[in-house]
């Protein structure tokens, strides 16, 4: 068997993320505690997070629609190692398809009992219903909300 290799590294840099037209509106709507999707005029899929073009039809999205606040947890990972910028582990990141959306949105899932990682994973594999829960002062960032079990 090949020996598994670990290669230490270090990233530490500042950057500015230019969100563009659709994502800028998506983030702005989070300040209003609304998760918005953009609709493709051809296939009618509601894309969340909102984007300017449909990735299936290559058509410019047109209408905006509020989605959620509940949805279905599609898949997840439980992070057990510390990572800069994220809460102390263990934490759960999940893809959730909010009601009314056709694509999934990734964010933290809070409020889970992670004392037994295996038991938590077994529960999440059943793809539970979750809902969006906002923090006290939304800033127009993805960190304005997390998912919690519905």
Positions touching Zn ion (CB under 5 A) are: 40, 42-43, 54, 56-57
Tokens read off for 97: 């398809």
Say if CB 42 and CB 54 are below 8 A apart. yes
- Pick the closer one to Zn ion by CB: 64 or 134: 64
Q: How far is the CB of 23 from Zn ion (least distance, A)?
A: 18
Instruction: Give 41 or 111: the residue with its C-beta nearer to Zn ion.
Output: 41
Cα–Cα–Cα angle for 136, 147, 145, rounded to 5 degrees:
30
**What is the nearest approach in angstroms of Zn ion to the Cβ of residue 104?**
16
The two three-digit tokens of residue 30, written as one number: 């989070």
| Minimum distance, C-beta of residue 60 to Zn ion, in the bound complex (Å) | 10
User: In 31-80, which ranges are E strands?
Assistant: 35-39, 46-47, 64-67, 70-79
* Cβ closest to Zn ion, residue 46 vs residue 92: 46
Q: Which is nearer to Zn ion, 26 or 145 (CB)?
A: 26
Smallest distance from the beta carbon of 8 to Zn ion, in angstroms?
A: 44
CB of 63 to Zn ion, least distance (A): 12
Burial class (CB in 10 A: 0-12, 13-18, 19+), 72: middle
Question: Computed from CA positions of residues 113, 117, 121, 122, in that sequence, does the dihedral angle turn out positive or negative?
Answer: negative
Closer residue to Zn ion in complex, CB, 39/107: 39
């Amino acid at each position: 068997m090949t020996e598994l290799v670990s290669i230490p590294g270090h990233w530490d840099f500042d950057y500015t993320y230019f969100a563009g037209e659709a994502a800028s509106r998506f983030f702005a709507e989070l300040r209003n505690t609304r998760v918005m999707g953009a609709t493709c005029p051809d296939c009618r899929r509601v894309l969340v997070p909102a984007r300017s073009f449909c990735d299936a039809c290559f058509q410019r999205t047109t209408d905006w629609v509020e989605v959620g606040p509940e949805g279905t947890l599609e898949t997840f990972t439980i992070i057990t190692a510390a990572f800069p910028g994220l809460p102390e582990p263990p934490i759960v990141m999940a893809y959730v398809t909010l009601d009314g959306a056709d694509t999934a949105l990734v964010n933290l899932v809070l409020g889970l009992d992670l004392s037994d990682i295996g038991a938590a994973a077994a529960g999440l594999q059943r793809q539970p219903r979750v809902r969006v829960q906002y923090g006290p002062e939304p800033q127009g960032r993805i960190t304005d909300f997390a998912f919690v079990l519905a």
